[in-house]
Amino acid sequence: MIQVQGYFDLRFEAVKDAFAALFDAPQERGAALCVQIGGETVLDLWAGVMDKDGQQAWHSDTLLNLFSCTKTFTAVAVLQLVGEGKLDLDAPVARYWPEFAAAGKERISLRHLLSHQAGLPALRQMLPAEALYDWQAMTTALAAEEPWWPLGEGHGYAPITYGWLLGEVLRRVEGRGPGESIVARTAKPLGLDFHVGLADAEFERVAHISRGKGNMGDAAAQRLLKTMMSEPAAMSTRAFTNPPSIMTSTNKPEWRRMQQPAANGHGNARSLAGFYSGLLDGSLLDSALLAELTREHAVGEDKTLLTRTRFGLGCMLDQPEVANATYGMGRYAFGHPGAGGSIGFADPERELAFGFVTNNLGPFVLMDPRAQKLARLLADCC
C-alpha cells in the first residue's frame, strides 16, 4: 500500500483515501494534492516517486513542470500591468511590439492574445529543434506570421506560442525576462515555491516526467492524435510540434532554465492552491480585473484542440455539460489544466483553491480524470 505523506482535515478523509487509491494503478509514479478553503489548508498530500528509476521518494518540496498551468500566472501578471496603466487590454499588441503589426496583425489586441482569438497557435514554417530555446528567433517568427484565421472568426488554443506572444509584451514593457516579471508579481508576494526560469540549484528537487503507456485517452485525445499522426502540416499538429523539440524537452536542463511562460513554470500543488487562494482573496487582482480574467471571452469548437473550449483571459472556464471540460465543482470555477494531468483552479462559491500535480502524464486534452475524481469527492465533502 502506498504511503501518503502530509496533512488532511478529517472532514476530507475520503479525498485522502481517493488520492491514495490513485496509486493502485501500476503506472502511477508520483503526485501531490493541496486544497485551501477560505485561505486555510485542508489537504496537503504527496506520495510516490519523483525520479526516473522509481528510487527517490516524492518530498514535501518536490517541484515539477506544470506545463500550461503556467498560463494563468502569465495572464495575471499582464492584468496587473493593465491595472497599473502600463498596458491596455484593447490596444493593438503592436503599440508595445511594433514588429508584430506585420502580415495583417495590426488590429490584434492583448485581449485577443489572452483569450486565444489571435489566430497564432502555431508557426507554418518548420523551425530547427534548437529554436525552442532562442527567444529572439521565436518572437521574430511570430511577429512575421500571418494569422491562421481572420480576427473575429473563432478561437484556437495556443499551447506554446502563448508564452512567446505574451512574454514578449511583458519583456518590452517591464524590461526584464518574462519569467522574472511573473514570479515577482505572483509568486513572491504570496511566498509561493513557483518558478518560470528555474535556477540550476533547484534541479535536484524536480520530478522526472514520463508518459503512461497503453492508455489512448478520451475521444478528444484520440481525435487530436489522429490529426497529428496523419496531417503533419495541419495547424493542430504544428501547434505541438514546431519546433519539433516541444514534446521532448520537459526533462532537459535548458527547458527548465528558459522563461517560457506558456508551459515551463515549475512548482507544486501547494503553489497552485496558494496562487488561486491569492486570486480569491484579492491579493493578486482587484475585483474588476478578476472579473475580466474570469469573464467568458471565447467559447465553442476549438480550432487547435478540436474539442469544445471556453476561455476567460488566460484561464479555462467551467463547462459542466462537457465531460472532459468541467472541474467537477461549481459553475463559476476557473483555472487551467496542464498537459498530462496537473491542474490548478478555484471555485469562488466554495472559496476553494485546488492544486493537483503528477509526473505520470495522462493522454487527456483538457481535464484529467484523476483530478476530476478528487474534485468531485471534495465537492461532496464541502
Domain chopping of the chain, boundaries:
5-68+185-231+263-290+320-381
Residue 220 has a pLDDT of 82
148, HSE (Cβ side, Cα atoms, 13 Å): 25
Query: Mean pLDDT across the stretch 147-169?
Result: 98
Q: Which stretch of DSSP H or E encloses residue 236?
A: helix 235-241
Residue 215 has a pLDDT of 73
Query: According to CATH, what is the number of the domain 5-68+185-231+263-290+320-381?
Result: 3.40.710.10
Residues marked as catalytic: 68
Q: Please check whether residue 215 is in contact with residue 362, taking contact to mean a CB–CB distance below 8 angstroms.
A: yes
Residue 365 has a pLDDT of 85
Paired strand residues for 63:
206
Is pLDDT above 80 for 181?
yes
Model pLDDT for residues 321-348, shown as the tens digit of each residue? 998 899 999 999 999 999 889 999 999 9
By CB neighbour count within 10 A (0-12 exposed, 13-18 middle, 19+ buried), where does 59 fall?
Answer: middle
Q: Which of 170, 207, 151 is nearest to 341 (CA)?
A: 207
pLDDT, greater one: 177 or 214: 177
Q: Which stretch of DSSP H or E encloses residue 82?
A: helix 70-83
Residue 65 has a pLDDT of 97
Is pLDDT above 80 for 216?
no
- Which residues have CB under 8 Å from 272's CB, separation 6+? 34, 66, 69, 342, 343, 344, 353, 354, 355, 356, 357
- Which residues have CB under 8 Å from 182's CB, separation 6+? 73, 74, 77, 170, 196, 261, 265
Is pLDDT above 80 for 118?
yes
Residue 224 has a pLDDT of 87
C-beta neighbour count of 204 within 10 angstroms = 9
Q: Please check whether residue 66 is in contact with residue 267, taking contact to mean a CB–CB distance below 8 angstroms.
A: yes
- Rounded mean pLDDT of the chain? 95
What percentage of the chain reaches a pLDDT higher than 90? 89
- CA angle centred on 122, ends 234 and 195, rounded to 5°: 135
Is pLDDT above 80 for 1?
no
Residue 158 has a pLDDT of 98
CA distance 10 to 109: 48
Is pLDDT above 80 for 28?
yes
- Residue 3 in grid coordinates: 504511503
- Residue 159 in grid coordinates: 499551447
Residue 329 has a pLDDT of 93
Residue 219 has a pLDDT of 82
Q: Which of 77, 61, 41 is nearest to 274 (CA)?
A: 41
Residue 213 has a pLDDT of 78
